[in-house]
Amino acid sequence: MFLVWWTPKKLELFVAGALISSIVMDSPLWGVIRLEQGLPLWYTDGKNEGFTNTCDLDKWIKFYYNPLGFYPVWNTPSGLPNAAMLFWSLVGRSIGAGLLIWWQARQEKDGKEFSLVKLILRVGRKH
């Protein structure tokens, strides 16, 4: 929100900031905070249907952020999200935020004004 007030014409920086914030919230830092508060993490060893509590951060990260893991990481009826979804969403958000920041800096360097809002409106008018 701070970036929207500071640079109201640069919505892309706000979007990049929101993406970065969500990356931090969904990162393994979340597991570290749980362990610091005395709360367990979970994983499955593949031998049973349920989840097993663990305090081993390394074991949990390998289970929870597996880029090829199509198994559920939460105990939900839908089986979503899966480990691959979590991993690749972090990668995608990181790339998206980086591209928005890079593009904004490039446009400013070239003396152009880039606006995500204008780009979306322009694309919307073409259809």
What is the predicted pLDDT for the residue at 126? 62
What is the predicted pLDDT for the residue at 117? 63
Q: How confident is the model at residue 118 (pLDDT cuts 50, 70, 90)?
A: low
Residue pLDDT, tens place only, 33-84? 889 998 888 877 666 567 788 888 898 898 889 999 888 888 778 878 889 9
d(Cα 123, Cα 103) in Å, to the nearest integer?
17
d(Cα 46, Cα 49) in Å, to the nearest integer?
7
